[in-house]
Each structure stands twice: as structure tokens, then as C-alpha cells.
Structure 1
Amino acid sequence: MFGFGGNKHKEISAAELNAMLKDDAVLLVDVREVDEFSDGHIAGAINMPLSRFQASLIPDAGGKTVVLQCAGGKRSAMALDKCASAQAAIETHLAGGIGAWKSAGLPIVRG
């Protein structure tokens, strides 16, 4: 675990996220910019770029765990800091971002 701004964030691995997605137990929020998202993203992810990120705009997860994700982990940690400042109960992100996802040989979708 690490944090920016003194906050601690829960990190999950690509394998853990993959299992959660298969179990329909996660709402995945990709905080990369729109062009990055279009170039390739994890199936089922919703795009909420960090440049316009507001915790209050994250859809109701319906009891699922909300997991934030970016390219390598820095921007998702920054978004988690914004969640903490807004007192949103969101504390988890993908360690290593989509780079770790790809390195694990997991699929991405384009468009």
C-alpha cells in the first residue's frame, strides 16, 4: 500500500481484479484521459478522467467494490486522494494500472 498526500490506499493485483470482474463484484473506474481509454481499456470499465474527476459522480456501485485504475497507479492514487477529501468510501486501486494488467497477459478492448 502507498499513498499520496499521506493517505493509504488499498492496492489489488491484476489477478485479483480479474477474479472480481469475473464474479461481477467490482465497479471499475478508469481515470485515464479519453484518448488513452479509447486506445485500450479493461472490459467493463467506465471512463472518468482524472482531469475532471469528482468522487460524487461515480455511479452507485450497488454493493460492488469500486476500484480505480490508470496507466501505472499514480493517477488512480491521486483520484483516491480526491475520494478521501470528499469523504467517499472508495479506497482501492489496481497496483501498476493497466500496464500491470497487460503484463499479466489479460485482455483489453479498444474503442
Structure 2
Amino acid sequence: METETTDHGTLETWTPQEVKEAFDHNEIVLIDVRTPQEYGLERIEGALLAPMQAFDPDHMPGQSDKRIVFHCGSGIRSEKVARLCLEHGFDRVAHLKGGFGAWKDTGMAYTGTDVGSGAPKSMQKKTTN
């Protein structure tokens, strides 16, 4: 995990492996800030959707039980949302480095869309060594 101390608090940048481990142990709430269309096509199973275009940090849950980790497609939007949360009083917040693209590149499972039926389908990108 990388950390950056800002004027408003601490920004944490987590690797896909760190996010997966914490998510598997039910230690974090993973929030996807992509559009509903992006989320509908493919997503990390169990991640909540809070699109950046309608995001309001004042309506976020607290972090007393679980840390909040944001993610998007590449890490750019999730970092912006995390910084916005810090500006609104969060003292520490995290986002996924490289976003959903990095998650898929590591070969971790996600939910995609079966092109034949349009139904959700468990997927995993094959990694090359």
C-alpha cells in the first residue's frame, strides 16, 4: 500500500492483491465509481456502485467497521473521489491502483456479460507469463 499525506488527510493507494485479500476477509467496502453502463457490463462481484457523476461524499457511510476503497476503470476517477472524500472530512480513504483494468490484468475473477445471452457470467482474464 502506498500512502500520501494531503492537507485533508491520508490517501491510500492499494494494489489489486491488497484489495482482493481485504475484500475476501470482509474488511473493506469496495465502491465502484464508474458509470452504471460500465458496471452493468462487467464488475467486481460484491462491489457497490456510486457513480462519480452523482457522487456526494456527505452521503457515504462511516468507516468505523470497514475501510472504504474506491475503484474505477483505471484509477483516475477513484483517486478523484477519494480526494473529494478527504476534503469532506474523511481522515483516511483508499482507492485501487490501476482500477478495474489492473484487477483484470492480475487474473482475478470478475462478473462480465455473456455476449450470446446478455446474462452475467463469471470471468477471469488469462494472464501471460
State the TM-score, normalized to the length of structure 2. Answer: 0.76
Alpha-carbon offset, residue 61 of structure 1: 4.8
- 1:40 maps to which residue? 42
Task: Give the structure with the larger strand fraction.
Answer: 2
- Distance, in Å, in 1 between the alignment partners of 2:21 and 2:65 is 16
CA distance in 1, matches of 2:34, 2:87: 20
Could you list the runs of 5+ residues in structure 2 that have no partner in the other structure? 113-119, 121-129
- Give TM-score, length-normalised by structure 1: 0.87
User: Which has the higher relative contact order, 1 or 2, with Cα contacts under 8 A spaced 6 or more apart?
Assistant: 1
Alpha-carbon distance in structure 2 between the residues aligned to 1:48 and 1:67: 12
- The structure with more helix, counted as a fraction of residues: 1
Q: In the alignment, what sits opposite 1:78? A: 80
Percent identity between the two aligned chains? 25
Once the 2 structures are TM-superposed, how far is the Cα of residue 6 of structure 1 from its aligned partner? 7.4
Aligned-residue RMSD, C-alpha: 2.2
Cα distance in 1, alignment partners of residues 38 and 16 from structure 2: 19
Partner of 2:105: 103
Bigger CA drift: 80-89 or 14-23? 80-89
Which structure has the larger Rg over C-alpha atoms? 2
Find 2:27's aligned residue among 11, 25, 28: 25
CA contact (8 A) 1:69 1:93 kept: yes
Paired with 1:37 and 1:59, the residues of 2 have a C-alpha distance of: 21
